[in-house]
Chain A
């Protein structure tokens, strides 16, 4: 674990501590700063995208304490002490997450702006429900908009990741467990 401090820190602001992708981080920024902006500007984790900036499109989805959230709607003070996972935290030790592999193999990404949010929403689904049917996949991704009209391939990519999971003998593991098991 390393601790890094925001380059834009100011003595005026309180120190806010949280973990991002397993790493302890401290930022000194205004408490109302959006988690999205802290991730991108202060921590330089630019995988998380801003789409609409009003919680409608899901591009900025990250996981906070095991729940999917739109990081554009989280004032960073409310992330104090939280465990946050961004798209940068999906691949482990240079190996893609099964969802990322499935998106690559099945054309799940076109322009790519929605992709990090789609991946995080799908990862959340697989942790809650390891064997979702298509209806569950659609519901889980209903808050993530793709403007390249790529929804079918995205749904198919998630279904393929579910199938890949089921095909292996180490089934019924969550995506997190799958990762650690590999």
Chain B
């Protein structure tokens, strides 16, 4: 590896972290049923994981600049509103799935992909600080991507996506990581100024996706106390996972 140019190394490390996202699909090999109740509880699981991930992002963004993070978060909210509206206007198909389910599936992949952009920039700028810690940073981000794949699969799988499709879309959602890590590494000055906006955007988009799409649907079919339990436990676990690793 050490013979490769640094920027290629950064790209390859980013690719490894993207592939790790696919591992999140594995637990869903055992979920077949598509009952509304299962959808409600997997929605709750995805909500908790996404809220937990947003917590980590917001805490990180606050170190760069609270106001910039908050501006970014507002843009993220507008993005989800606009994307949800646009997707609703078209007759969508996601694999063999159509209609409202296809809209929700497209939206989660879109939101998680957009959120990876900020993570890719974060990888690139971290590497610019020196590649000695490269392996540690890569391992940390790879591990933290797994529950994000879990969140995506939790939305895709009960709506009829195959396990391979869940893993595939999870990986696709993380591809911006290698793709943006490289330019961020090369032009670290420019990118680090944009980082808090990007982090805020990612967090805002995920929180809003949870509030506008996942939770309302969950409450239609699940017990509210069970949903609250799943969301809050998944959120705390995700935060603990990301803060300690």
| A, B: real partners | no
**Interface, chain B (partner A; CB < 8 A):** none
Q: Which residues of A contact B (CB under 8 A)?
A: none
